[in-house]
Every structure is written in structure tokens, then in C-alpha cells.
Amino acid sequence: MGCGDGARDAMAALAAWQRSQALRELEFALAEAQDEFAALMAAEAAKPLRDARGEVKRALLTVRTAAEEALRIEGAATPLEFAAGAEGSLAVSRRVPVGVVAGITPFNFPLNLVLHKLAPAIASGNPIVIKASPRAPLTALRLGELALGLELPPGAVNVLSGGAEPAVQLTEDGRVAMLSFTGSAVVGWELKRRAGRKKVVLELGGNAANIVHRDADLDLAAGRLAAGAFAYAGQSCISVQRVYAHREIYAALRERLVARAEALVVGDPRDEATDVGPMITDEAAARAFAWMQEAVAAGAKAACGCKRDGGFVWPTILENVPPAAAIYKEEAFAPVLVLEPFDDFAAALRQANASRYGLQAGVFTRDLDAALRAFRELEVGAVLLNECSSWRMDPMPYGGVKDSGFGREGLRSAIAEMTELRLLILRG
């Protein structure tokens, strides 16, 4: 398997302006082909066309930001006069590329999540091998074709598909210096175990909690929570899954959420009117629906949805779900929202934390003290105030804690992960 090792020295030798220019050229090529990429994602990943176009727009921002960050990789000068004998000593630091990066990506954002690995690798002077999901490889392969037209050394960008075997090969290959993985927690932690001394960044799953306090703007909260739970059939690691609503506003929020869920159009992702398309496979839909049925059998109530037809699962809101139910405690990765009342904000924070995941959480409140307490106490990578857990701006630091991940992405953060600090010590 080619690992881009032959391009390591040539990539590291590129000047910052050359790396930035290559990314600018990639942005231009992607912009020219954006309709093609949107159609491709709708065809292979069943992403509704409107969502696919939105992903292309995000991908353009990702590449543009990487081009800018390539010019902002800075070092520092640190005086070392901390003890006698070190007078006049100075440390000058710079960041240097780690070497070959292996990027393993999932099906759900087949363009933008590939670029969250490919773009910072180019920006930081590293060759990269992308192993795309076998469920949606064509988008990544087409992006690789665009990269062939860039003024980069041969072997700088490599794209392949396949299942577990190439992922393990890349992880264990001694020529690979860093693994950047986005996918399930089970697979991610196993690959980290196999990676040995490599640098590793893991962006894994979640079952995101969102808290709606009694003083929240309910129309705002309902609109954002419904979008966050049901967009792309809930197939996002930060999809809204658990919603804790203060008992005083529970009924009013429930009414708004159900109305929004029932208004969504379920259908062909290539149809402009479709809000929710099919899940990635019939097997994924069957698993999610089985979890819903198990919860109902254990005492949960379906406020809406709880219907399946092949790969289609209708937007579902479940109440009174036992905490031991899989749909409550595991990552659903499906269009389902679990709704539960709370009486005390502190208790809601404890419920939100009662999970092995910790990626992002949303809190809807006008109470600054409550917002700051949530920021202090929620065990997640990010707390979003008056926004749902599924919101992300691509340049921001992004990642989780507990079983949700290790390290951070977002362009500047990813570049820091893909570089090492090197010191030059100057003695006076």
C-alpha cells in the first residue's frame, strides 16, 4: 500500500505561500464543481440535496480557512534566563510537520469531513492518505481527482476506499506518523490501541444532551432542536438525541417539537422538497427502529413517528424512556429525540452528564448564572448557549471527552495536532 512516504520531505520543504496557494486552487476547483458534488452526495449517501449543497458551502469554508491558517503557523521566542549560568539564553521555536497522516473518514459528511483532514495536512506540510468510508467513497475519490491538479509533490494526496483491512493497515504501518479518525467509538479506540507511538486524534460518537430551562425562548428552542435531531435522518455524532425540558414549559415545548417533526417531508433525497431522506442502509434503519420498539415495550411513549419503511425512519419523539434503554444511553444515529422533564437545573446537568459520551451539549436559557454553571459542569467538548448540540462552525476547535474522542479538529487545532514543536536554543 502506498503511504505517501515518498512525498514527506518534498511536502515539508514547501513554503507557507505554496501550501496556501495549493489550497486556494482546491477551493476554486471545488467551487466550480459544487453542483456535481452535491448531486454525488445525494446519490451515494442519500443526503437531501439542500443539505448536500450546505455541506459543499461548509467545505469551501474549510478549505479557505486552511489556506489562511497555512500562513499563520507561528513560532515563538522564549527567554531562558531562569537560573544562574543561563544569562542571555533564548529558545526559538517553530512547528514542523509530523510526516504522513492517515485520515479515516465516515459516510455522513463525505466531503467536509474528508477536508477536515486533507486541508490541514496540506496547510501544515504533511502528505496524507485518506481512507474513505466504503458506504460513500465516490465523493472522496472525486475530491482526490481535484487534488491531482494541484501544484503539490507527487504522492502528497492519496485517496482509497475499503473497509476494516486498509484502516488497520494504515494504523499499523510504520511509515504513518499520525492517525486522524472520525467514526464510531468502538472502532476508534481499537485503532488507537493498535497505533502504538503514533499521534492520534479521534472524533467519535455521542448521544448529545440539550437542556431547555423554564425561561427559554420556546419557538427558538423547538426550531433548532427539531432541525438538530432530524436533519440528515439524525446521522450526525452531534445530533440532538436527549432533550431535558423544565416541567413548567415541558408541554408547550413538546407541542412545538411534535408540530415541527410532523411537518417534515420524508422522501427521495434528490427531491428539492425532501427534509428527511433514508438512512444510509436498511440495516441501520432496522437497528434504530428496533431500539425505538424496545423502548416502547419497556414503557416509553411515542409522541410522533416511530414508523419505518425500508431505509426510511420517520422523525420520532419518545417520552418516558427508561435510562437503561439503548435508544437513551447509546448513540442512536437516527431521527429520534428523547424528551424528558426536569424540576431542578442542577439535576438536569447531572442527567446530561450521566453518559459515557461527551461531545457537545446545548443549553437554552436567558439566565446567565445557569449558562455559566452549565459551562463549568457539563462534561463535553463544547457547550452551546441558545443553540442545539448539532451546530458547528468549521474553523472552531472541535472534539469531545470520555468516549467521544481524543484531541481536537477545526483547522487551527488540526494543524497543531499535525505538527511538532521544535526548539533552537541560543546561548549568550
Q: And the C-alpha cell for 159?
A: 485517496
Is the CB of residue 70 less than 8 Å from the CB of residue 124?
Answer: yes
What is the tens place of the pLDDT at every residue in 113-142?
999 999 999 999 999 999 999 999 999 999
Same domain assignment for residues 160 and 40: yes
Helix 218-230 and helix 247-263, axial crossing angle in degrees, nearest 10 = 50
Quote the percentage of the chain above a pLDDT of 70: 99
As a whole number, mean pLDDT of residues 69-87 equals 95
User: Is position 295 within any domain?
Assistant: yes
Q: What's the confidence (pLDDT) of residue 428?
A: 79
Write out the three cell numbers for 64: 479557505
**Whether residues 361 and 239 fall in one domain:** yes
**Residue whose C-alpha is closest to residue 50's, from 271, 314, 280:** 271
DSSP for 163-210 reads: SHHHHHHHHH-TTEEEEEEES-HHHHHHHHHHTTTSEEEEE----EEE
Name the residue among 331, 337, 342 with its Cα closest to residue 319. Answer: 337
Co-location of 74 and 113 in the same domain: yes
Q: What are the φ/ψ torsions at residue 181 (nearest 5 degrees)?
A: -120, 135
| Residues 6 or more apart whose Cβ sits within 8 Å of residue 314 | 266, 276, 304, 305, 306, 307, 308, 335
Residue 5: per-residue pLDDT: 78
Per-residue pLDDT for 427 more than 70? yes
Residues 250 and 378 in one domain: yes
**Residue whose entry in the numeric block shows the C-alpha cell 529558545:** 91
Cα–Cα distance for residue pair 312/310, rounded to 1 Å: 6
- Asked if 212 and 197 sit in the same domain, the reply is no
pLDDT tens track for 293-310? 999 999 999 999 999 999
CA 334 to CA 284: how far, in whole Å?
8
pTM for this model (two decimals): 0.96
Catalytic residue check, 203: yes
The dihedrals phi and psi of 371, each to the nearest 5 degrees, come to -60, -45
3 is catalytic: no
- Tens digits of per-residue pLDDT, 28-56? 999 999 999 999 999 999 999 999 999 99
Residue carrying the nine cell digits 492520534: 200
pLDDT of residue 1: 42
Q: Grid cell 521566542 — which residue? A: 77
Query: Residue 388: pLDDT band by 50, 70, 90 thresholds?
Result: very high
The answer to whether residue 399 sits within a structural domain is no
For the stretch 345-359, pLDDT in tens is 999 999 999 999 999
In the set 25, 55, 69, 203, the catalytic residue is 203
CATH number, residue 85: 3.40.605.10
Residue with grid cell 468502538, as numbered in its chain = 186
Q: Position 5: which residue type?
A: D
Mean pLDDT of the chain: 97
Report the alpha-carbon distance of residue 189 to residue 196 in Å, rounded: 12
Same domain? For 22 and 34 the reply is yes
Within its chain, how far is the Cα of 28 from the centroid? 24
| Each residue's pLDDT tens digit, 5-24 | 789 999 999 999 999 999 99
Structure confidence at residue 3 (pLDDT): 64
Q: Of the listed 3, 237, 306, 388, which one is catalytic?
A: 237
d(CA 152, CA 306): 50
Same domain, 261 and 168: no
Max intra-chain CA distance, the chain: 76
> What is the average per-residue pLDDT within 325-332?
98
Dihedral sign computed on CA atoms, order 107, 110, 116, 117: positive
Grid cell listed for 122: 496540506
300 with 254, same domain: the answer is yes
pLDDT over 90 percentage in the chain: 98
User: For position 6, what pLDDT does the model report?
Assistant: 85
Q: Indicate whether 256 and 186 sit together in one domain.
A: no
Could you give the strand order of the β-sheet that contains 360-364, starting from the edge strand earlier in sequence? 301-304, 316-319, 336-342, 240-246, 208-212, 360-364, 382-385
> What are the CB-based long-range contacts (under 8 Å, 24+) for 296-301?
298/322, 298/324, 298/325, 300/325, 300/327
| Position 396 in a domain | no
Let me know whether 351 and 373 are in one domain: yes
DSSP state of 231: G
Q: How many domains does the chain have?
A: 2
Residue 195 CA to its chain's centroid (Å) = 21
Name the 3-class secondary structure at 386: coil
Q: Does residue 315 belong to any structural domain of this protein?
A: yes
Query: Per-residue pLDDT averaged across 260-287, rounded?
Result: 97
Enclosing domain of residue 26: 7-204+404-426
- What are the CA-CA distances from residue 285 to residues 234, 309, 333 (Å)? 11, 9, 10
CB atoms within 10 A of CB 296: 17
